[in-house]
Structure 1
Amino acid sequence: MHSMDRLKAKYPGANAWQIGDSQILANELAGLIRQGIKTASCGSFASYQQEECAPRIGSYNIILDGQDVPVCVIRLVSMQLVRFCDVTEEFARKEGEGDLSLEYWRKEHQRFFIQEGYFSDEMELIAEEFKVVEIL
């Protein structure tokens, strides 16, 4: 078992977090990242701007499962600003969720952003792509 201290020492400045808005989803998404199926993620530009330690290209992140156990370490390789309505099928597939279709991506992310408090077809997202650098 990797201690968080040891991981933080190996990857200085790395943030540790769960992806998704529930324990079940966090477990599922951490598994998809670990398997190399999910290589992208996105969030609203507005919430990104409010983050104290927003990720930067080249930064490392420790992905936690729903029980806050480290699953893997990823490195952010690209970020771009894109409107919700301009997200491509290719990007939806890289998100690795559901049946990998753009339709599924739109439906799930619309649900997520409504729950987060704001959704618009024109809303700006930060679209991130990453690669797994260590499986724990």
Structure 2
Amino acid sequence: MSDEIDSLPPLILGDAELQDQLVAAVLSGAKTATSSLHRSYVADDQPLPQPGRQRLLARDGSVAGVVEITDVQIMPISEITDEIAHAEGEGFVDVAAWRRAHEQFWGQVGESAGGSLPEDELIVVERLRLLPPAQTA
């Protein structure tokens, strides 16, 4: 791996088996967006994602590929669309299915109290694309 790739910020999607699935979805081209709770960045005092290249990490910590974050938006959960749900590449048929799955996940990992989130809950939506190997060096 080149020093340049090693110096890129890491992109870690999920954990354990979910991480395997999400990395595979990025590598297949099915996943072109990801979302997270804005409040998690605030609670952890972490900077918000920024456009630019990142190294996509596999579960074992190896670099699975390099992605470019092309856009970052912060929007209320009520403004998430079917298009965003489909771009997540996880097979959501519509935004309602996306929302149920994400509310459950965020509750399970302790990022929310579980159950329904308020309509004004802020979501960070990142658009991404996998870079071909020639563009990763």
**TM-score normalised over the length of structure 1:** 0.81
Report the counterpart of residue 133 of structure 1 in structure 2.
131
- What amino acid sits opposite 2:10 in the alignment? A
CA separation of 1:82 and 1:54: change in aligned 2, threshold 3 A? closer
Runs of 4+ in 1 over 3 A off after TM superposition: 49-54
Report the counterpart of residue 79 of structure 1 in structure 2.
72
Measure, in 1, the Cα distance between the counterparts of 2:60 and 2:5: 21
Measure, in 1, the Cα distance between the counterparts of 2:104 and 2:50: 26
Measure, in 2, the Cα distance between the counterparts of 1:134 and 1:10: 15
Q: Percent identity?
A: 20
Report the counterpart of residue 12 of structure 2 in structure 1.
18
- What amino acid sits opposite 1:83 in the alignment? P
RMSD over aligned Cα, in angstroms? 2.2
The unaligned stretches of length 5 or more in structure 1 are: none
Shift of residue 111, structure 1, vs aligned partner: 1.1
CA separation of 1:14 and 1:37: change in aligned 2, threshold 3 A? same
Measure, in 2, the Cα distance between the counterparts of 1:47 and 1:28: 22
Shift of residue 63, structure 1, vs aligned partner: 1.1
Are 2:65 and 1:91 aligned? no
Report the counterpart of residue 30 of structure 2 in structure 1.
37
CA separation of 1:105 and 1:64: change in aligned 2, threshold 3 A? same
After superposition, residues 109-128 of structure 1 pair within 5 angstroms as 109-115=102-108, 116-118=110-112, 120-121=117-118, 122-128=120-126
Shift of residue 33, structure 1, vs aligned partner: 0.2
The unaligned stretches of length 5 or more in structure 2 are: none
Measure, in 1, the Cα distance between the counterparts of 2:87 and 2:111: 25
Shift of residue 46, structure 1, vs aligned partner: 1.7
Count of matched residue positions in the alignment of Structure 1 and Structure 2: 128
- Give 3-state SS (helix, strand or coil) of 1:28's partner: helix
- What amino acid sits opposite 2:37 in the alignment? S
- Give 3-state SS (helix, strand or coil) of 2:90's partner: coil
Measure, in 1, the Cα distance between the counterparts of 2:33 and 2:45: 19
